[in-house]
Amino acid sequence: MALKEERREASTCSSKDWVRVQEEKERKVNSVIIIESKNLRICSYVHQVYDILWFPEQAPVFGVSLSTAVERSGCHDGVQLPLVVRDCIDYLEEHGLKVEGIHRSLGMRAKVQQLRKMYNQREEVSLSGHETSVVTSLLKQFFRELPEPVVSKTVEEAATAVGGSSSGGQNLAELSALVQQLPAPNRTILAWILTHMEHIVEQEKHNRMGLQNVSLVVGPMLMVGQRALAALFNHRRTLFGEVNLKKYKPPLSAGGPCPDTAEGIEEELAKQESLLGQIHREMNAGMVSKKREEQLWEVQRFVTNLKRKLRLLQRTHGSMHKSQEEEDSGTERVAEGHRLVKGSSEEGDDFKMNLSLQNTQQSIDEDVEESEKKEEESCDKGAEEPNVALKTSDTSRGELEKSEVGDGLGKEEAETIKPLDKPDGDEVDSKLVVEELKKMNGELFELDLLI
């Protein structure tokens, strides 16, 4: 068709005119090619201008300072990170550590720009379902659009000095002091990125990303040299301690279930109050819409319900705690009474035992004294018994003689009666008594010693 038109034009006009028309067409084509090449060179700039013209954004998160990004779209659990950075790291920690070539492959630009727009407009974003390359490209674009680097020039110089000097202790102390002087969002994001690097290197067997490869990717993100980045990575625990990349849990929606424990309600209440403050700041900045007003009222009602439930739980817990304290105090009083009664009974038992021991000792002493007296009397009686027996025998003999004479007995029969001698049994009996008393005295003495 085009060939027929050219032939018709050539037949209707002279040769000079036809040449002039062809030159003009070629000039137009060359100008279009030049314009397209310029568009390729300034593609990113044109893309940003296109987004601004067709998608006007108020108080964006991309392209502002780190502290401003945290203020506009921060995490509501106290971690000072922009929400987009927190979501990207959470996703990569869960799904991307074993992906080969993580942070090296590029994601689809259209998807990345759509996610960027949603974060700038404070819409709810879910990264699940997206490719790992899209998430890494979104993270790198956030760092690329920062107006100033995360690591200041003084910290970078100090880290370079630590990496290349032999006196590492002094230089490391200086580096630590300089790191502590960084703003809190800068310190937090630097600690999280270095810890994320460590987790990637630990999975080198799967992702083929060693420390050198990861440093080639993370260095431009943080806008820091390789030597300084290596020093920061090697001394990360000294500079930041143990960093826990805790997964972010956003605030509950207004219609969601409330936590059951007081600790859970307090944690959720802090998140909701942080969200409420962020909505107020956005509305004061001019981002007013019907949807945002509805969100404001829903969050306010949810905060009121949480406070009411927390007071109810605290009151219930306080009454239960008070009753438990009363029960414990009553139990302690009962136990104290039992201890007092037991102590008094033990004291009474000790007193009775001491009294019985005293009585036993007294009775033993009396028995010993009585036995000693009996022993002395028995000894004296044993010494006097022969004379008494002799006198008794003489007296009985005289009386017997008289009675026999009075009865008319003969003299011969009377003479046959002899005086009675002292029987041997009396002497034997007195000795046995003395020995028995001594034995009893010895047993009583042993009993006294045992007591």
In a domain, 170, yes or no: yes
Examine the domain organization and report whether 218 and 354 are in the same domain: no
In a domain, 61, yes or no: no
In a domain, 2, yes or no: no
Residue 81: how many CA atoms within 13 Å on its side-chain side?
Answer: 23
Contact predicate 103/140, CB 8 Å: yes
Which of the listed residues 202, 222, 240 is the one where a domain comes to its end? 240
Look at the chain and report how many structural domains it folds into: 2
**Whole-prediction pTM:** 0.61
Examine the domain organization and report whether 192 and 335 are in the same domain: no
Q: What is the CATH number of the domain that holds 123?
A: 1.10.555.10
Contact predicate 81/185, CB 8 Å: yes
In a domain, 248, yes or no: no
In a domain, 268, yes or no: no
* Domain region containing 425: 301-450
Q: What are phi and psi of 422, to 5 degrees?
A: -70, 120
Q: What are phi and psi of 128, to 5 degrees?
A: -65, 135
Closest CA to 81 of 236, 230, 247: 247
Examine the domain organization and report whether 224 and 318 are in the same domain: no
Q: How far is CA 125 from CA 179, 291, 361, in A?
A: 32, 16, 97
In a domain, 45, yes or no: no
Examine the domain organization and report whether 229 and 331 are in the same domain: no
Examine the domain organization and report whether 232 and 353 are in the same domain: no
Contact predicate 192/245, CB 8 Å: yes
Examine the domain organization and report whether 232 and 335 are in the same domain: no
In a domain, 258, yes or no: no
Examine the domain organization and report whether 84 and 199 are in the same domain: yes
Which of the listed residues 219, 240, 261 is the one where a domain comes to its end? 240
Examine the domain organization and report whether 215 and 358 are in the same domain: no
In a domain, 201, yes or no: yes
Question: How much is the pLDDT for 256?
Answer: 74
Each residue's pLDDT, cut to its tens digit, for the chain (451 residues) gives 444 455 555 455 555 565 566 666 666 545 544 444 444 344 444 444 434 433 445 789 999 999 999 999 999 999 999 999 999 999 999 999 999 999 998 999 999 999 999 999 989 999 998 999 999 999 999 999 999 999 999 999 999 998 766 556 788 999 999 999 999 999 999 999 999 999 999 999 999 999 999 999 999 999 999 999 999 999 999 999 989 999 999 999 877 778 888 889 999 999 999 999 988 888 888 888 888 888 899 999 999 988 998 999 888 877 666 666 666 666 776 666 666 655 555 555 555 555 555 666 666 667 667 766 776 666 555 544 444 443 444 444 444 444 444 444 444 444 444 444 444 444 445 556 556 666 666 655 555 555 5
